[in-house]
Amino acid sequence: MIQIRDLVMQLSGGGHTLTVLSGISLEIPDKQTVAIVGPSGSGKSTLLGLIAGLDRPTAGSIQIDGVEITDMPEAELARFRREKIGYVFQSFHLIPTLTAVENVAVPLELSGVADAVERAEALLDAVGLGDRRGHYPVQLSGGEQQRVAVARAFACRPPILLADEPTGNLDSANGRHVMELLLALHRDAGTTLILVTHEPQLASRMGRIISLRDGRIASDDVSRGGPMSQEQPR
């Protein structure tokens, strides 16, 4: 369960402050699928990053499973990310000097898993890249890189998977493939899936669509029945 209250994010630079998020409050129950949509600059990606603890908000609170993360010490925050969050970036962000399988193994190794490489190989098999495990990111196509990134994000089986425009840099076929992967993980493991997108078609496959405009929630449509939509909170 993710609870967000009065979340404010301001960026300063160039002599004035820019308010990216101005007072967001929402709750996302476990196992929900959520799309965050909105025009560029509306604060979608920032919201997603704050949920992952990748930055600290200017004000407000974010609780994950009842634990406040906005004032967590850095080391604890790192552990929290390791255990609770998987993150897929628009531009993949694989580590260029590591092979595909090594990239997937990193979160497992960070958690001290003994057979990290073996499990990473299994994960690569699962995303259909078993034969590319020794390849470096630059030797992979964009779609393949994003599949590696999905495998990496899901390596520790986090209860929450966040994806920031996961198909934004991919052609439609590869985008579909990655999307199927994400939904399959939700379906099979019951993962909460929150994705930022500006593709209506993609958003329509989610159980809930939160639309942001100028740093505020413009609409929150929970009535839609996406595939495998969960029961809504009362």
Report the site for another protein in 9-68 (rule: CB under 8 A).
13-14, 16, 18, 45-46, 49-50, 52, 54-56
Residue 214 interacts with another protein (CB under 8 A): yes or no? no
The residue type of 153 is A
8 Å CB contact between 152 and 162: no
Of the candidate residues 5, 82, 119, 216, the single one contacting another protein (CB under 8 A): 82
Nearer to another protein, 46 or 211 (CB): 46
Q: How far is the CB of 147 from another protein (least distance, A)?
A: 17
* Window of 58-66, 109-117, 175-183, 193-201 that interacts with another protein by CB under 8 A: 109-117
∠ CA 110-111-117, nearest 5°, is 75
The torsion angles phi and psi of 49, rounded to 5 degrees, stand at: -65, -40
Q: How far is the CB of 19 from another protein (least distance, A)?
A: 14
Q: How far is the CB of 51 from another protein (least distance, A)?
A: 11
Element (H, E) at 17: strand 16-28
Tokens of 55: 């930055």
Count Cβ atoms below 10 Å from residue 133 Cβ, excluding itself: 19
Tokens of 78: 């790192």
Of the candidate residues 8, 29, 58, 83, the single one contacting another protein (CB under 8 A): 83
Residue 211 interacts with another protein (CB under 8 A): yes or no? no
**CA 156/CA 159 separation, integer angstroms:** 9
Nearer to another protein, 87 or 208 (CB): 87
